[in-house]
Structure 1
Amino acid sequence: MQKRIIQISFQIIIAIFLFHLSSCKAVSLFQEQSKVTHPQWSKNAVIYEVNIRQYTPEGTFKAFEKHLPELKQLGVDILWLMPINPIGELNRKGTLGSYYSIKNYKAVNPEFGTLDDLKSLVTKIHSLGMHVIIDWVANHTSWDNVWTKTHPDFYTRDSNGNFVSPVADWSDVIDLNYDNKELWTYMIDAMSYWIKECNIDGFRCDVAAMVPTEFWIEARKELSKIKSDIFMLAEASENYLHQAFDMTYNWQLKDLINKVAKGTKKASDIISYYNQEKKDYNDDDYRMVFTSNHDENSWNGTVYERLDGAAETFAVLCGVVKGMPLIYSGQEAGLNKRLRFFDKDTIDWKPSPMRQIYTDLNNLKKYNKALWNGLAGGEMKFLETGNNDVLAFIREKNNNKVLAIFNLSPTNQTINLSSPLIKGDFSILFEDGKKITFSESEKFQLTPWKYLIYFKL
């Protein structure tokens, strides 16, 4: 009897082992099938968020189109247009409503212009060698979206059968129910429409983690049949979304930057963060790094409110760390006001040193492979500074090199760097091609929030 129990137990163990082995193979195969291949044109890209409503006094596609040569000169590659669809009127917030309260997925907001105006804009963007993605709100719609009449079964209901908002504060929108697979078909069809009709290059997907990942995987597969090199950005930081998306938000770094600026975190905490990121994300997962965007600016404050005297420093940091830098509309003009979200509030375009800083950073990223995105770029090799307030690292790729040093404090700092990685001749960014030669051991004196960027091409 004991021998039979042992034999049965052994058979169970073998069965469990084979089950787990087959499960691992299945997971591995699933991940391989779901692996995103980034568009070739995104490998050294910088992304720019376009707030059409506030960009010009007119707030139209046509008025914005005139600014494209400036953006080309700035060195940005991907233009992300905030939602271009008509905005709901029922339960609207403010005078103009939220961009993210979608009334019709297959129409253009008449405040911005016509479908032909949008097509003209996309054509002009492409003619300048840039790409364009549009904001997509798949989680919810306005209360008066056309689907509330034609497909009310697409929506989540409460116990009384009423439509419900996905979040209490989002009172101007109602939740879509992805348990209904017919919704998937309609949503993917609507996304496909914009690729076919306007030749856009992809989507920035609002609150992506609130929509089933399986939907995004299916959507990516279907959209790629129309345009093989689409680009997908998730407004989320969850690593599993890289099954369907090229890029996720690096909210972790943004939050850390805010804390360093306030003095509650140190430069050394950024090192710890990136060491953890290497464990949480694959090397080829793009992360979007930023100091501002429409949400940060409107709800949490301008970069000058949140980062005080360190706003410029952290803009430069985002230009050289691992990830794709984002510039929000007006940052190159030193945007120093919270743009109203539900009303007209035109950006004050004025001369600012930030325009040249962003231009120099973007050009360096374009031509220096050390700063390229994902596996195309170099890893961050942190250098020992002996000082928790000073961050120093090297990035290298194919004989391209960037040495970055940041004093992330409001006080003077002195550090000694000793590493064979810093030895050699470098050009100094922001100093018109001026060069410098380092030995293996160098001393640096840094004023408050001082940054130094050296590079080799």
Structure 2
Amino acid sequence: MIKKIIGLSFATALILTSCNSKKEEKVADKQETSQDGIITPYTADMAENAVLYEVNIRQFSPEGTFAAVTKEIPNIKKLGVKILWLMPIYPIGEENRKEGLGSYYSIKDYRGINPEFGTAEDLKALIAEAHKNGIYVVLDWVANHTAWDHPWVKQHPEWYEKDKTGKLQSPYDWTDVVALDFNNKEMRKQMIADMKYWLDDFKIDGFRCDMAHEVPTDFWEEAKPQLANGREIFMLGETENADLLVNALDAAYAWELHHIMNDVAKGKKNVSAIDTYMDSIPKKWQADDYKMIFTSNHDENSWSGSEYERMGDAVETFAALSYALPGIPLIYNGQEEDFNRRLKFFVKDSIDRNPNAKMRGVYEKLGELKITNEAFNGAKKAGSYERLKTSDDKSVLAFKRKKNATEAYFIANLTKAEKEVTVPVSGIYKNFMNNKEVKLDPKTKLKLKPWEYLILVQK
């Protein structure tokens, strides 16, 4: 059972949910659509207050279809989502298939659609509904490898890597796929054309690039301007290679931070590990680089466990931290439903819907924070981050975010024990999560329950 945080009890969560109409008005003010329902072309500025939502189409609903996702777009919008990431929608290879329905990342046709999910018209309807609701859509792109029965294997075997004996080979132990050879210029040319197909014919807004660091950086640098073709698109890379963000991709994964959060939740590390990570960023990354921050995703949920397995009572606290730090937060489908188990990867499974889910109210409130408070801008023009020294910096994380005249504070007890600390903050603020007034001064001890957090904004 997750601890009550900052007075946000179950009843409060229901109140937050019941206030959807007011929040929708605030969200609507920020939507990127015109009166005719056509979405404003994507620009980098739109990532500043973006929330990403990852859809595992097969497991999203009992139907496992595009149409089922389309029906839920209005509810996804309520979470403050601005970018919808669709996991691979392409036909899945059958040759050397590992299990059941196979891996989404074993792609048989880069221009095809998995009939399991629906038709091309169904996908276009999903994209149109997302755009109507001010949500951009990115497709998962798997550049490193294809299925063994992709037509290229027979038509162009020279487009693939070979082992010492001249045979095609799988990367790592992924025996259901075969590695592409990026030294082949013709293969690169065709791949870029296949990516462009989705931008031109389906009007998507970018790509999430699977295992981006396993593909040469110069491929992404070659592809990006051709794909953008004078406009801006959003390119998220599954990587922590800073070189990829210089002239190619827009955002990277915060894998290191993710693992630190798991370890802090388990008591294996303390807040000092987060401080070390934050201090390292200016040394490794350019000033306008930014990362996607997450407490779960499809890999983590299926292979490492749900956020509840990994973080226990700290789930809500680290969700809030993912919104409060510089970066763009991710919701993996089901997290807003308090979904508490691993989704099967190769066979049909389904998220359990929960009409009384606590985290839906939490994510809606955090989405409102991201949209309405520029101090929490997190992309190329992110609000500043200033670590605040407390009387117990190994247990309590406190920092200030500021952009222009807007400033805000995040204070969290990242332990399973109650703490009393002093924080160098003076003034009267509003706790954003419950709208209560909070008065602070540097001499007064602040009592924090286990995993309790405060998001303080100007009144």
Shift in Å at residue 43 of structure 1?
Answer: 1.8
Query: Percent of pairs identical after alignment?
Result: 47
Match of 2:438 in 1: 436
Match of 2:235 in 1: 232
Whichever residue aligns with residue 269 of structure 2, its letter is K
Match of 1:448 in 2: 450
Q: Which of residues 70, 74, 98 in structure 2 aligns to 1:65?
A: 70
| Maintained 8 Å contact 2:140/2:210 | yes
Report whether the alignment pairs 1:310 with 2:314. yes
Match of 1:291 in 2: 295
Tell me the distance in 2 between the aligned counterparts of 1:182 and 1:441: 67
Q: What is the correspondence of 1:242-261 to structure 2 with a 5 Å cutoff? A: 242-243=245-246, 244-261=248-265
Shift in Å at residue 254 of structure 1?
Answer: 0.3
Tell me the distance in 1 between the aligned counterparts of 2:325 and 2:439: 23
Tell me the distance in 1 between the aligned counterparts of 2:439 and 2:317: 24
SS at match of 1:349: coil
Whichever residue aligns with residue 196 of structure 1, its letter is D
Farther off after superposition, 80-89 or 155-164: 155-164
| Maintained 8 Å contact 2:375/2:403 | yes
Match of 1:411 in 2: 417
Q: What is the correspondence of 1:172-321 to structure 2 with a 5 Å cutoff? A: 172-225=176-229, 228-243=231-246, 244-321=248-325
Shift in Å at residue 374 of structure 1?
Answer: 2.8
SS at match of 2:178: strand
SS at match of 1:76: coil
Taking a change above 3 Å as real, the CA distance of residues 375 and 103 of structure 1, as seen in their structure-2 partners, is closer
Shift in Å at residue 450 of structure 1?
Answer: 1.0
Match of 2:362 in 1: 357
Shift in Å at residue 138 of structure 1?
Answer: 0.3
Whichever residue aligns with residue 449 of structure 2, its letter is T
Report whether the alignment pairs 1:423 with 2:426. yes
Taking a change above 3 Å as real, the CA distance of residues 38 and 386 of structure 1, as seen in their structure-2 partners, is farther
Report whether the alignment pairs 1:402 with 2:414. no
Farther off after superposition, 307-316 or 294-303: 307-316
| Maintained 8 Å contact 2:45/2:380 | no
Shift in Å at residue 442 of structure 1?
Answer: 3.6
Give CA deviations for 1:422-446 in whole Å, capped at 9, x if unaligned: 3333211221x33334345442111
Q: Which of residues 74, 79, 83 in structure 1 aligns to 2:79?
A: 74
Gaps of 5+ in 2: 1-41
Shift in Å at residue 283 of structure 1?
Answer: 2.1
Taking a change above 3 Å as real, the CA distance of residues 423 and 386 of structure 1, as seen in their structure-2 partners, is closer
SS at match of 1:381: strand
| Maintained 8 Å contact 1:369/1:376 | no
Whichever residue aligns with residue 212 of structure 1, its letter is P
Tell me the distance in 1 between the aligned counterparts of 2:413 and 2:378: 25
Bigger-Rg structure (1/2):
1
Tell me the distance in 2 between the aligned counterparts of 1:436 and 1:38: 37
- Structure having the higher helix fraction is 1
Whichever residue aligns with residue 306 of structure 1, its letter is R
Tell me the distance in 2 between the aligned counterparts of 1:412 and 1:38: 44
Q: What is the correspondence of 1:104-123 to structure 2 with a 5 Å cutoff? A: 104-123=109-128
Taking a change above 3 Å as real, the CA distance of residues 85 and 341 of structure 1, as seen in their structure-2 partners, is same
Shift in Å at residue 153 of structure 1?
Answer: 1.1
Q: What is the correspondence of 1:5-24 to structure 2 with a 5 Å cutoff? A: none
Shift in Å at residue 375 of structure 1?
Answer: 4.1
Whichever residue aligns with residue 318 of structure 1, its letter is S
SS at match of 1:97: coil
Tell me the distance in 2 between the aligned counterparts of 1:360 and 1:440: 28
Tell me the distance in 1 between the aligned counterparts of 2:81 and 2:46: 12
Taking a change above 3 Å as real, the CA distance of residues 413 and 437 of structure 1, as seen in their structure-2 partners, is closer
Match of 2:398 in 1: 392
| Maintained 8 Å contact 1:38/1:246 | no
Q: Which of residues 105, 110, 131 in structure 2 aligns to 1:100?
A: 105
SS at match of 1:307: helix
Gaps of 5+ in 1: 1-36
Shift in Å at residue 126 of structure 1?
Answer: 0.5
Farther off after superposition, 268-277 or 157-166: 157-166
Taking a change above 3 Å as real, the CA distance of residues 439 and 159 of structure 1, as seen in their structure-2 partners, is closer
Instruction: State how many pairs are aligned.
Output: 415
Farther off after superposition, 329-338 or 152-161: 152-161
Q: Which of residues 134, 139, 143 in structure 1 aligns to 2:144?
A: 139
Whichever residue aligns with residue 450 of structure 2, its letter is P
Tell me the distance in 1 between the aligned counterparts of 2:198 and 2:362: 34
| Maintained 8 Å contact 1:260/1:408 | yes
| Maintained 8 Å contact 2:423/2:441 | no
